[in-house]
Amino acid sequence: MDNPGESPSDKGGEPGESEEMRAPPGAPAAADPEGLPEETDGDGDAELKEAAAEESELKSQDVSDLSAVEREDSSLLTPAAKKLRLDTKEKREKKQKVDEDEIQKMQILVSSFSEEQLNRYEMYRRSAFPKAAIKRLIQSITGTSVSQNVVIAMSGISKVFVGEVVEEALDVCEKWGETPPLQPKHMREAVRRLKSKGQIPSSKHKKIVFF
C-alpha cells in the first residue's frame, strides 16, 4: 500500500515485484511483428520454466525434462527455418535467464514475507472466478455455447480488471488520507478515473467522431 512510485505494470499493493518482473517478458514479445505462432513456439520453453515455478504442485520435474527433449527435436530444419530458429533460440535463452533470475528473486522475496503478507499473497494467487458462473454469463450473451478457452481467458482478464480497480481505489484512499477498508466512494472515484483513461469499456454512449 505504500509504494506509489512503482511502475504502472504493478498488479497490486504488496506483490508488486512479481508483476514488474513478469511484464517485461510479455512486453518485448508483444512488440515483435513475427506473428503469434512463432511467438508461442519461441516462448514455449521459457514459459515452461515459468509454468514450472508457478504450478509447483504440478509435476514440475517432468516439465523441465521435457524442455530439453523439445529443444533437440527442433534443430532438424531447413537453413532458412534454422536461422529463424536460431534467433528465437537466442531470445529463448535470454528469456530463460531472465526467468531463472525472476524465479530466484521471487523465492527470496516470498521467503522473507511476514505472516500477513504470506496470507495476502496466497489469496492473490489462488483467488479465481468460478468457471461455471462465467460460462453461464457469457453464454447468456452470445446465445450459443462458448469454448473453454474463452471462459479461461475471460476469468483471467476479469481478475486483472479487479486488480486494476482495487489498486486505483487504494491510491484514491491513500490520497484522501483515509484508511484501508475500501469504501464505495473510493471505488467510484477509481472507476471514474479509469473510465477517463479508457480502461473501462462502456457502450452506453456512441462516440460521434465527425460532426
Partner 1 sequence: MAHEEEDPTFEEENEGIGGGAEGGQGKRKRLFSKELRCMMYGFGDDQNPYTESVDILENLVIEFITEMPHKAMSIARQGRVQVEDTVFLIRKDPRKFARLKDLLTMKEELKRARKAFDEANYGS
Site for partner 1 in 112-151 (CB under 8 A): 120-130, 133-134, 136-138, 140-142, 144, 146-147, 149-150
Q: 156-195 mask for partner 1 (x: CB under 8 A)? A: xxxxxxxxxxxx--x---------xxxxxxxxx--x----
The answer to whether the beta carbons of residues 140 and 132 sit under 8 Å apart is no
For partner 1, which is the closer residue by CB, 48 or 88?
Answer: 48
Grid coordinates of 121: 499473497
Burial 53-79 (b: 16+ CB within 10 A, else e): bbeeeeebeeeeeebeeeeeebeeeee
Q: Looking at residues 22 to 41 of the shown chain, list those that interact with partner 1 (rule: CB under 8 A).
A: 22-23, 26-27, 29-30, 40
Q: Is 53 in the site for partner 1 (CB under 8 A)?
A: no
The span of 44-52, 71-79, 86-94, 103-111 binding partner 1 (CB under 8 A) equals 44-52
Taking the complex as a whole, the smallest distance from the CB of residue 85 to partner 1 amounts, in Å, to 18
Q: Is 98 in the site for partner 1 (CB under 8 A)?
A: no
Helices then strands, counting H and E runs in the chain, come out as 8, 0
* Choice from 6, 32, 66, 118 touching partner 1 (CB under 8 A): 66
Grid coordinates of 59: 509435476
Residue 64 to residue 181: CA distance in whole angstroms = 42
The answer to whether the beta carbons of residues 123 and 115 sit under 8 Å apart is no
For partner 1, which is the closer residue by CB, 78 or 144?
Answer: 144
For partner 1, which is the closer residue by CB, 78 or 137?
Answer: 137
Q: What helix, strand, coil percent values describe the chain, rounded to 5?
A: 70, 0, 30
For partner 1, which is the closer residue by CB, 78 or 142?
Answer: 142
For 202, residues 6+ apart whose C-beta sits below 8 A from its C-beta are 195
